[in-house]
């Protein structure tokens, strides 16, 4: 009696039986090996005539996805293994035959995937893996082609994103078992579903951003790009194919741009430099710079815009642009005392830092000092330094302002009201600000004497004071 010979029409309303009616004799029912293919009827319940108690393998869709977790299933599983001992592979083939007859290949494949991905026990995941292996080997034995299984699992009928269909994992495993490339074949099977390579590329680019589909999407994208490379598709060709030439004013929001960037990386080219080169031919330096600032404000285009801005700043440095030049490119003169509220100011500051990282604060301050009187500049920097959105950008500027105003460490200590901070002084951002100012004052022993006196007011024990001084030293010289 071989369970693999059982043939049952999926969806039949009749009770599940083997082809030999003698199996319903007492002798057959006493044979545990018949459990695997005679015990379950269309309600998922063991026949009442069987000596084994009823086992409910629920038919409802809400339960069938987790059938391997059912304690009654485990009882049946143990019985089948015992009946076929020591041949576990034969036991698994027998169980598989019953499950296929009960659920069909597609539903069983879905059940297996669900059992392996849900938060199930290790035992459940193990039996699901064994059933998957048995299912794949059965298909191999039946000489099913990859396309046969694609149709069997009804994947050809899917109209949406095929990569989101969980049972696709079973198909990929089967094609791998056949020692074929599943992604080359999947590309050929999927391509007719899309209008053109652009539509397919956009879908794949979107799928790479979803954890559950990322790996498959990246591998399919590679197949697509290998095809393009074989066809000698250049970056300019790809730019046109992906319709990036249409409505170029919004090219950073074009759905096809992600695919173009990925293709550039596939060809080991720098997409930011290539795209900047294309845009530079279309726009003036001023217009392009402002477009990138605007694009950074949009979450959908921010990442690309930031990458392009890095290239833009590098281009300015190579072309020997000065801070004054870039200040004028963004027309920042018109901002008046609202300078730090303009997003373009961040790009200007980034350029100055790239120009001379060591002395960027001094350079930046000198540019502003030439444009604003002392009172206005002090007010601008003070307000920006106290604004969480601009404080990091203006920390160095504030230090330069204090240096320009010849403020001592004691002056700044009072200005920051550190004498009011109490025992938590070292944890305050104001102390960090003061420490950074001490660092650029070229702190010496006399300054530490001042620091000691200041902290002595707050810390009344030598032990606490010693700890405070150590922390202060770390703050002052951390840069």
The verdict on whether omega for the bond into residue 309 sits within 30 degrees of 0, i.e. cis, is no
Q: Which residues on neighbouring strands pair with residue 381, listed in sequence order?
A: none
> What pLDDT sits at residue 39?
45
Write out the two tokens for 74.
Answer: 């485990």
What does the alpha-carbon distance between residue 417 and residue 427 come to, in Å, rounded to a whole number? 14
Question: What is the average per-residue pLDDT within 70-86?
Answer: 91
CB 210 within 8 A of CB 183: no
pLDDT higher than 70, residue 171: yes
Higher pLDDT, 355 or 472: 355
Query: In the chain, where are the structural domains located?
Result: 1-143, 407-479
E strands in 146-246:
none
pTM of the model: 0.72
- Tens-digit pLDDT profile for residues 290-327: 999 999 999 999 999 999 999 999 999 999 999 999 99
* Alpha-carbon radius of gyration of the chain: 36
Q: Which residues of 281-305 are buried (b: 16+ CB within 10 A; e: fewer)?
A: eeeebeebbbbbbebbeeeebeebb
Nearest to 348 by CA among 440, 280, 286: 286
Range from 181-185, 249-253, 472-476 carrying the lowest mean pLDDT: 472-476
* % of the chain with per-residue pLDDT over 90: 51
- The single-letter DSSP state of residue 221 is H
pLDDT higher than 90, residue 71: no
- Tens-digit pLDDT profile for residues 178-217: 999 999 999 999 999 999 999 999 999 999 999 999 999 9
């Amino acid at each position: 009696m071989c369970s693999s010979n059982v043939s049952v029409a999926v969806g039949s309303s009749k009770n599940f039986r083997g082809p030999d009616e003698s199996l319903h004799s007492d002798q057959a029912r006493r044979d545990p090996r018949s459990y695997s293919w005679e015990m379950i009827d269309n309600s998922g319940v063991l026949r009442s005539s069987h000596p084994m108690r009823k086992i409910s393998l629920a038919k409802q869709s809400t339960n069938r996805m987790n059938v391997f977790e059912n304690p009654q299933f485990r009882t049946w599983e143990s019985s089948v293994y015992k009946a076929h001992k020591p041949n576990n592979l034969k036991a698994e083939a027998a169980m598989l035959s019953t499950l296929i007859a009960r659920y069909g290949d597609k539903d069983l494949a879905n059940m297996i995937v669900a059992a392996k991905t849900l938060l199930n026990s290790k035992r459940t995941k193990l039996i699901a893996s064994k059933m998957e292996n048995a299912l794949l080997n059965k298909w191999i034995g039946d000489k099913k082609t990859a396309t046969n299984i694609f149709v069997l699992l009804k994947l050809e009928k899917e109209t949406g994103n095929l990569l989101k269909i969980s049972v696709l994992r079973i198909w990929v495993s089967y094609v791998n078992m056949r020692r074929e490339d599943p992604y080359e074949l999947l590309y050929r099977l999927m391509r007719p579903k899309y209008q053109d390579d652009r539509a397919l590329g956009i879908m794949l680019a979107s799928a790479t951003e979803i954890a559950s589909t990322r790996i498959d999407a990246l591998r399919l994208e590679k197949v697509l790009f290998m095809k393009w490379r074989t066809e000698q598709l250049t970056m300019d060709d790809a730019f046109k194919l992906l319709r990036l030439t249409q409505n170029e004013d919004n090219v950073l929001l074009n759905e096809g741009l992600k695919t173009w960037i990925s293709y550039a990386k596939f060809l080991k080219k720098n997409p930011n430099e290539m795209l900047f080169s294309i845009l530079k031919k279309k726009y003036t330096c001023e217009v392009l710079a402002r477009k990138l600032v605007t694009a950074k404000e949009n979450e959908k285009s921010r990442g690309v815009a930031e990458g392009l801005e890095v290239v833009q700043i590098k281009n300015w440095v190579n072309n020997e642009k000065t801070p004054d030049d870039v200040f004028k490119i963004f027309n920042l003169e018109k901002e008046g005392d609202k300078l730090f509220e303009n997003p373009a100011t961040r790009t200007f500051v980034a350029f100055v830092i790239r120009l001379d990282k060591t002395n960027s604060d001094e350079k930046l301050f000198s540019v502003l000092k030439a444009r604003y009187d002392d009172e206005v500049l002090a007010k601008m920097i003070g307000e920006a330094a106290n604004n969480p959105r601009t404080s990091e950008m203006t920390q160095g500027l504030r230090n330069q302002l204090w240096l320009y105003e010849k403020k001592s460490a004691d002056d700044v200590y009072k200005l920051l009201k550190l004498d009011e901070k109490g025992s938590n002084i070292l944890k305050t951002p104001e102390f960090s600000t003061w420490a950074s100012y001490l660092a650029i004052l070229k702190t010496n022993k006399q300054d530490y004497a001042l620091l000691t006196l200041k902290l002595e007011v707050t810390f009344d024990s030598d032990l606490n004071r010693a700890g405070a001084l150590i922390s202060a030293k770390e703050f002052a010289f951390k840069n």
